[in-house]
Structure 1
Amino acid sequence: MEQRRLFGKCPYVTAQKVLTGKWSMFILYLLSEEPLRFNELQRRMPEKMTHTTLSRQLKQLEEEGLIIRKEYQQVPPKVEYQLSEIGEKFKKVLSVLEIWGNEYIHYLDNQK
């Protein structure tokens, strides 16, 4: 109940809600480099992912306004995914997460 009241008001709760999918940040990272077609996204995922799972994740990111699904009227059908305007702003977050992630990997290596 508390989370519903904080969504759209608290930046942390809002960000956490928008990025709930297991692979949402990695998909945003891949799309931050270039627009990609569905099969290319699926190939680049670090773990084998079913068509349904990736499709569901992409639909959620599209509903949240972070990505755009662009259909081309051609045969065979072509669909590309790219970051939206607000999704482009997430690149800054990805950059900081990369730095922190590398620092944490270094920390883990030193724990051994």
Structure 2
Amino acid sequence: MWIKNFLRPSRPRNAYLQQAAFILLGIASACCILVYVAQYDGDALWLLAALLALLVPCGRNMMFAYEASNATILSMENPLIIVVGFILLLLVLPLLVFVLLVATLIQAARAPSVLR
């Protein structure tokens, strides 16, 4: 029953499949960066680059998580809470990317081949 209301597709199937491929490319590049850090003792800035490689492909889907976190974080006017909330969002990002990938694939399965 809930699947009928879950993420109504608004674009054709090819758009969702391109977005899923872009997310997979981001996951692959982040994994390459993490292997570089582990094998060759890279700086901690490379870890930030890996997070950025995950953040960029999510684009449109990531805006929902950003708005949901800002609704609670920015309402508390303490700068420390804002920084901690942003760091927690970056720590949760690797898990969130897989959720966004699954959501994109569900949308692709439900989307029509061509919009009318």
Structure 2-normalised TM-score? 0.32
- Structure number with greater CO (CA < 8 Å, separation at least 6) is 2
More strand by share: 1
Structure having the higher helix fraction is 2
Task: Give the TM-score of the pair, scaled to structure 1.
Answer: 0.33
